[in-house]
Structure 1
Amino acid sequence: MYLIGCYVPESHLEKVKTALFEKGGGQLGNYDCCAWQTRGTGQFRPLAHSTPFSGETGKIHREDEYKLELICKNDIVGDIIETLIRVHPYETPAYHVIKMETVDIPTSTES
């Protein structure tokens, strides 16, 4: 399993989530469309030759964004990242991919 995290402007949050869920992201056991989202403020400065979604070249810009996190299976992580880049409105979306390990925890039936 992988944990995928990215930062999405509020205006495109549902579009990005829907696209990633359609590719199989956010599935865990008998559940789908699983995600964590936290609102915050991102900042960036578009450099020369950029084509920013918002902000002006050479000026620091702050944007209301959501940090979106969801899990995905090993065999679809490439498709998930490809989809994220394709549907995200930013020219260069910031994202991270973390490989997760599963741990078998013994359960006890004793009270």
Structure 2
Amino acid sequence: MASAAALTRYKLVYHVPPAALEATKAAIFATGAGRYPGAGNYTECCFTVLGTGQFRPGDAANPHIGKVGQLEHVEEARVETLCVGEETARKAVAALKKAHPYEEPAYEVYKLEDF
């Protein structure tokens, strides 16, 4: 029987430039993110929406996009996916950081409550 921590569900949300979208999704899916437990055996599940991100790189930044001190507005994709188990969530974040082009990728991890 699996432990409760192994079955805890987390939602990983991150923002990425469209050019790096497929690479980041492939990286997180390789860790087991996006897999739904159950008889359907669904994998590589996520929700993606395009929007506009905004940032101003600080003096010590080495920005992938834009210039230090200048306000930037860029198209980005927001990706949301399920991670079943804390270990899967941690591995997905580590893979995301390696695959993401930004020096500081924007991401969040939420623990989902059972109803």
User: With structure 1 as the length reference, what TM-score do the two structures score?
Assistant: 0.89
2:112 match: 100
Q: After TM superposition, where is structure 1 displaced by more than 2 Å over at least 4 residues in a row?
A: none
Shift of 1:101: 2.1
Greater Rg by CA: 1
Instruction: Quote the offset at 1:27 in angstroms.
Output: 0.3
1:66 & 1:77 partners in 2: Cα distance?
Answer: 20
2:76 to 62, 65, 68: 65
TM-score by length of 2: 0.86
Q: SS state of the match for residue 11, structure 2? A: strand
Aligned pair 1:2/2:10, yes or no? yes
Identity %: 36
Structure 1 CA distance, aligned partners of 2:114 and 2:36?
12
Tell me the distance in 1 between the aligned counterparts of 2:42 and 2:48. 17
1:27 aligns with 2:35: yes
Q: For the residues of structure 2 that align with 1:35 and 1:78, how far apart are their CA atoms?
A: 17
Determine helix, strand or coil for the equivalent of 1:76.
Answer: helix
Q: Which runs of 5+ in 1 are unaligned?
A: 104-111
RMSD, aligned α-carbons: 0.8
